[in-house]
């Protein structure tokens, strides 16, 4: 059986949680306190249901989804993981329009290419990304954040 766990980690769940905590800390350093598992009513048309975003706040109104996925060890597309990115876009689409919507992902460059995983996603799934969603890339080593507009994620 193949093990798809991130090398050097206790579990993929730990990797994701650590990434969320890093994002939360970076926002706190800028004076924006975000709570984990922030619940917002989402839905199409009249029917709404509470959905938990990774991070968020009602003052200021902001919701954040964090993803620490990377290219596979062999440089292949982690297609199953990218389905969760598409799902996040759907929830952003159904969230209230008065919330700022941030999609923060770990910067991951494909070996032998200059395209990041976020760049690949934005290029191939642009039709599924709501126009009010901000795409952010976080380098976990330097804690540097880059904000991208639309499909420009180079």
Please tell me the pTM assigned to this model: 0.88
| Residue 9 pLDDT | 47
pLDDT score for 16: 81
Residue (of 111, 127, 128, 126) closest to 77 by Cα position: 111
Domain 16-148, CATH number (from 3.40.1350, 3.30.1490, 2.60.40, 3.40.50)? 3.40.1350
> Rounded to an integer, what distance in angstroms lies between the CA atom of residue 16 and that of residue 5?
12
Tell me the domain boundaries of the chain: 16-148
pLDDT, one tens digit per residue, over 24-70 is 999 999 999 999 999 999 999 899 999 999 999 999 999 999 999 99
pLDDT tens-place string over residues 69-90:
999 998 889 999 999 999 999 9
């Amino acid at each position: 059986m193949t093990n798809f766990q991130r090398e050097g980690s206790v579990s993929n769940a730990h990797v994701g949680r650590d990434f969320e905590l890093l994002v939360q800390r970076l926002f706190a350093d800028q004076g924006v306190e975000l709570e984990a598992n922030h619940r917002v009513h989402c839905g199409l048309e009249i029917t709404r249901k509470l959905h938990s975003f990774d991070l968020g706040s009602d003052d200021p109104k902001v919701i954040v989804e964090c993803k620490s996925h990377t290219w596979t060890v062999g440089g292949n597309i982690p297609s199953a993981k990218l389905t969760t990115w598409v799902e996040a876009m759907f929830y952003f689409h159904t969230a209230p329009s008065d919330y700022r919507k941030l999609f923060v992902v770990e910067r991951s460059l494909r070996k032998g290419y200059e395209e990041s995983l976020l760049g690949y996603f934005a290029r191939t799934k642009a039709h599924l990304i709501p126009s009010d969603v901000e795409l952010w890339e976080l380098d976990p080593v330097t804690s540097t954040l880059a904000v991208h507009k639309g499909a420009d994620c180079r």
